[in-house]
């Protein structure tokens, strides 16, 4: 039996990380989380994710810096990244695709919108 796909949510909002965890509850996947880009690299060392959900505005290391570092590392560059952006991030949104982001989801978003975006990048099966 192959291991379940692993999704890593990187966001400084505990509420958003919990929202993502609840949205993923009915899908066959594992979920990890980190509060900023710096901590995310430790999480990636422990369990290589199949998909990263990445907030842009975070303390310590923001999403833009994390995306840049991730895509510059040959062993990590292939990991797809869906950026979770807020309207306040509008100035950096044009930089995301050239940096290698696989998708963009604007906050606030619904669980169905999140799952649709995830499924477009990493098809998952239902556990129900």
**% pLDDT > 90, the chain:** 79
Query: Model-level pTM?
Result: 0.94
Return all residues near 45 (Cβ < 8 A) that are at least 6 apart. none
Average pLDDT over residues 80-88: 94
Q: What is the pLDDT of residues 3-23, one digit of tens each?
A: 899 999 999 999 999 999 999
Give the span between the Cα atoms of 71 and 93, in whole angstroms.
16
Q: Report all structural domains of the chain as residue ranges with CATH numbers, in order of start.
A: 6-120 (3.40.50.2300)
Query: Is 6 strand, coil or helix?
Result: strand
34-51 per-residue burial string, b: 16 or more CB within 10 A, e: under 16: bbbbbbbbebbeeeebbb
Q: DSSP letters along 73-108, please?
A: STTTTTS-EEEEE-GGGTTTHHHHHHHT--EEEESS
């Amino acid at each position: 039996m192959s291991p379940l796909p692993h999704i890593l949510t990187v966001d400084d909002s505990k509420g958003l990380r919990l929202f993502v965890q609840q949205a993923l509850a009915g899908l066959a996947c594992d979920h990890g989380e980190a509060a900023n880009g710096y901590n995310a690299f430790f999480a990636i060392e422990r369990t290589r994710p199949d998909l990263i959900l990445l907030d842009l505005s975070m303390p310590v290391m923001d999403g833009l810096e994390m995306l840049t570092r991730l895509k510059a590392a040959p062993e990590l560059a292939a990991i797809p990244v869906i950026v979770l952006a807020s309207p306040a991030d509008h100035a950096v949104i044009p930089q995301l695709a050239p940096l290698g982001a696989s998708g963009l989801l604007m906050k606030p978003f619904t669980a169905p919108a999140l799952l649709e975006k995830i499924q477009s990048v990493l098809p998952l099966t239902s556990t129900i």
